[in-house]
Structure formats: C-alpha cells, structure tokens
Chain A
Amino acid sequence: MLSLRNICKTFNMTGAKEDERVALDHINLDIEPGEFVTIIGGNGSGKSTTLNVVAGSITPDSGDILLNGESILKLKEYQRASYFGRVFQDPMMGTSGDMSVLENLEIAYRRGRVHSPFVWGFKKENKEDFIRELKRFDLGLEDRLNQKVGVMSGGQRQALTLLMATMRNKPTHKMVRRDYIKFSEKDKSLAAKEFDDVYEPAKKEYKEKCKVIKSDKNLTFEQKKQQIADIYDEFDKKVRQFDLTKQILLLDEHTAALDPKTAKKVLELTDKIVKENQMTTLMVTHNMKDALTYGNRLIMFNQGHIVLDVKGEEKKKLTVEDLLKKFDVQI
C-alpha cells in the first residue's frame, strides 16, 4: 500500500510571496494494492507533482510517503526505482535513443538491481525472454532488437518504455527476505524468523532432491535438467509467497504526445499489462474520457487539493458531463 501523508510542496520559494506557487497543499492519499487510479486536473493543479514526489524526482517540503507502512522519503530517486516503473510524457525521456532495443531492455530488466562491472551485459536467456514479451504485446519489435531506438516513432518508443517500466527480473530470494522484513507489519526479528523457518528447510529439501536426481543413472541429461527445473519452481513458489514488493506503475500523461490512434493503442496496451500483472497504477491524463474508461478509481486535483475521489461502482456511473461540471465549479 502506498500512502501520502500531509504532503506539501511550494515552487518558487524565493522569498517574495507573490511569486510562490503552491503545487500540493496537505495531500493525503492511500492507494490499495491492485488499484488502477486515473488522475485528472487542470494545468498546475499538482497531479504531475504528486507523481514526481512519489518517484523521488521532487522532494516535498513536508509530509511523508509510506510504502507498505515504511517511509521511503529518504530514499533517492534511483533507489526508489526498484519499486516504481515510470513512463514520461516525452517519448524521448524513457528510452535511450542511441542504444538498441536489446540494450534498453537489458537495462530495464536490471532495474533496482546491482549493475556489476564484471558481468557481461548481454545474456542469451534474457534475449529469449524479451522476444517472447515483445511478441506478446504485438509491437512488431521482436525482429528489430538490434535497431537503435532513436530511429523509431514516438508511439513505438512509448510502448517500449511501457514494457520497460513493467518488465523486471524477479527479485532474488535475498531481496524477498529483505523486503519482507522491511515491509511486513510484524516485528522485525519475528518476520526474519518466519521467513527463515520456511526458507531454510525448503532450500535443504531442494538441494537433497537435486542430489538424488543427479546421481540417478537411468535419466538422460535433458530429463535431469527438466526435473531439477521443476523442483526449483516448487521451491521458488514457497519463497515467493513472502514477496511483498509489488511493482507500482507511474504514468505521467504518457499518451499526451502521441496522435489519437497511437494514443489509443498505447492505452489499450497499458490496460492489458496492468490487468495481467494486477499492478498498482497511477495514471495522470488530460483526457477525461480515458480517465473514465480505464481504471477503477478516479481522483481530481485542483490547486493542490484533491477535490474528487471516486471508486468502483460509483466511478462507473460518472460521465464526462459530471466531470466538466465539477471542473467549472472550481474555475
């Protein structure tokens, strides 16, 4: 769960009162896991600032940001990247134009991980994964892995950024343990014990089973490989039940720079990815129709305040006219 507590942010704090612009005024917001929130509001109402505060690009003047009950305010932008995937308004922003599709994907795959200076950056098995992912999203990029991203259209770049923001290597068991201790609401030593009580026997069991299979002379090499992979999956599942670091997707007007047809395609792709992975998502948009069509919660900002917050059934009943009325009243 992502919570904002009393977040305030004022720009142009030069001393002169008339220059100051309040972007966020005591914002309180709780976002449940799995929610797809669309955020609308006029220019300068604070919607993009909210996203930037969450991601760490902007430091708030006061208030706190909690992720699963733990404050992440002190984490730097790059450290928060392991919890947030981001897509920007500018298609040039999210990808590196002079690098190939493959290189961009490799970097995204290691988001929030250590980049080792001793490990070769291209892996064969990753490449197969990427091709499978790209095929699934039907972007026509799977044959163009070695092409530079710079020569692609804005829509393709934005779709690629979206894929990069949502695709990530599974956290290692060590990371699962770390985040479980950090984010579970239990006592720290208790959480560690709970994890170890499951993890250690499971690991032992896995190793013993492996030994048995390896010493079995009746099996071919391929069969052995298959069986060990199956056992590993079983072991992995046991560890994954502790995985609390669900990714949160931050979309900052990511279709604003695209033509209507491409924008629609990218939005549908977004919806598909979010639904498939059950990702918690915050989407800022200027298009009220999109804000109503997609997502299961809608928030409207005005001058640094949240003026509308509807969920579920209530949101389904909303129409563009209702929203416009609300807009008129504010202005």
Chain B
Amino acid sequence: MPYIVSVILNILTSGVPCILLALGIFITYRLLDFADLTAEGSFLVGGCLALSLIKLGVNPYLSTLVALIGGGLCGYLTSVFYTKLKIPKLLCGIITMTLATSLALIIMGFTRADEPFTNLVSLGIKDQTIYSVFYFGEKMYQPLIKTVIMVVIVFIVMVAIYYFFGTEYGMAIRATGLNERMGKAQGINTKRANITALVISNALIGLAGAMYCQDLRSVDVKTSTGFLVVGLASILIGEAIFGKRSFKNKLISISLGSILYFTIITVSIELGFPSELKNMLYAILIALALSIPLVQSAINTYKKKRKVEHYA
C-alpha cells in the first residue's frame, strides 16, 4: 500500500472515533453550557469496559454496547452531583473524572485472576474486536475495513443525534441549555433535561473510548489523558473553519474539525516534529483555533477598507 494512503488511514482511524468524543463534548459544552470534565473519565471507562469484556470472552459488539452504557452512567453520576447535591458544574465533572480512574482499575482487575486491580489490559491475537470480526482477505486491506466500520458507526450515531435534537424533547433540552429561566417558564423540567443531555453526551464519549481502544488493542489508565483537549480543539477548529450556521452545519463542522485536528498532528509528526512534545503541538493548535475569529474579523475589516479606498 502506498505511503500516503497508509498515512491517511492512520489519520482516519484515530480521527473518526474522536468525532464521537467531540460530539459528546459539544452536547454538554455548547448545547448545555456545561463545562463537563467527565469526558476523560467516561472515555477511559468506555475503553476499559470494552477491552476487559472482550478479554473475558464477551462478544465485541455487546462489549461496546456495555461501554456505551458505562459512559452514560458516568454522565448520570455527574448529573446527580449537579442536580441533587447542587455541586458547581465544573467540580461535578472533576469528581467523576477522579472516580473514573479508580473505577477503571477495578474494571480492568476482573481480567486478572492473581490481582484485584491492574492498570493495563491488552488483547491477545485471538481476541476479536468490532473491526476484526469483518477482516477478510489480505492483511493489507484491514485498515481500510476498519475505517469503513468506524465511519458507518459514526454516521449512524450522527444521524441519531441530529434526529434527537430536532424532536420536541431535544428542542426543550437545547432551550434549557441556552436559557434555563426561559425553559422553566415554558414548562420544561430543566433538571431532567440536564440529566438526559449529560447521559447522552457521556454515552457517546464512552462509545468513542471503546472504539478508540479497540483500534489500539490495549488500554491503560493513562490512555485517556489529553482527550478532553482533543475534543475541545476539534469543536473550536471545526466551528472556526467550517462555520456554525445551523445545527446540521455544526455537526458536520465538528466532524471535519476532528479529522483536521488529527491530520495536523499526524502530518507534523511525520514531518519530524518530536512526538514526545505532542502536548506543545496541542496547545499551539488550540491557541490558533481560538484566534481564528479574530483573524477573520481583521481580514473582513481590511477588505472593507480596500473597498472604500477603491470607490474613493
């Protein structure tokens, strides 16, 4: 397989699962206006659940479904902290995220007979993932098949999200996030709306974790570190470059943003940027993405000025 194709497939296999992560963060961060730090926790729990269950011999698709539910439960926990215990939004996520690290150790511990906890699970050659179930023919086509499966899953989820947030209840959730006071005055149960959105968001992130870790075929406690930033950067880059006119437009922008983000990272590393300094690259990217609107407005004023001069 040509070098360029393998690089593209490499980008897609990391980028496509992270679309789900970015969409999950988008639901809380943009729609609900809830800076939810649970994301890394539910990502980790999703990955651990999927791989541990597969290691124990459960069907990979069933394991992935359980990972999705596990992520959702993390979100539910955060929402309970917020709605019932009235803890500030930011801290709710931090609590769940901290808890998730220990939860992951316990979950992964089930795969070992000799120890109660362990911080690493990696799949053997015989263990099937949701991708390897469909591996036919020559080995060189495997990344391609993997990418196709990922794209199909993400596409289905995206259509489901688009439909849900267009229904009566989805609309009520969006209204709650934008203006809670108005939501209450219009008879929306804002507590339940918050809970639903958090559960959906973290279920998506759990699914993303399961898909990402099955691609790696291994997971440890540190796998999820930095993924909150990845999701946020995808949203910011996507919205800045591809626009945010309507809900559909936003969903597509975020997906493209996620792919673009991984393209930049992968290409920089391929070009010789030391991969140990990845975090520096992340920081630079986010700073750039956040400054895009400023640059755009500067360009616009410059264009206007040119126009005025032209007519003068």
Contact = CB atoms under 8 A, between A and B. Distances in A.
B1 interface: no
Given A110-B168, A115-B169, A117-B167, A94 B188 contact: no
Contacts of A82: 187
Contacts of B182: 93-96
Interface residues of A, number: 36
B187 to A, nearest CB: 3
A97 B168 CA distance: 18
Interface string B152-169: 000000000001101111
For B172, B182, B184, the residue with the greatest tally of chain A CB atoms inside 10 Å of its CB is: B182
B197 to A, nearest CB: 12
A274 interface: no
Given A88-B181, A95-B182, A117 B169 contact: yes
A292 to B, nearest CB: 28
A121 B181 contact: no
A97 B187 contact: no
B170 interface: yes
A104 to B, nearest CB: 8
For B163, B171, B187, B190, the residue with the greatest tally of chain A CB atoms inside 10 Å of its CB is: B187
B210 to A, nearest CB: 24
Contact of A107 (B164, B166, B175): B175
Interface in A200-245: none
A99 to B, nearest CB: 7
Contact of A118 (B167, B175, B178, B184): B167
Contacts of A113: 187
A11 interface: no
B31 to A, nearest CB: 9
27 contacts: A77-B184, A78-B184, A79-B187, A81-B187, A82-B187, A92-B179, A93-B179, A93-B182, A94-B185, A96-B178, A96-B179, A99-B174, A103-B171, A103-B174, A106-B168, A107-B171, A107-B175, A110-B187, A112-B187, A113-B187, A115-B172, A116-B167, A116-B168, A117-B167, A120-B166, A120-B168, A122-B166
Interface of B: 163-164, 166-172, 174-175, 178-179, 181-190
Ranked nearest first, the 3 interchain pairs of A and B with the lowest CB-CB distance are A81-B187, A117-B169, A115-B172
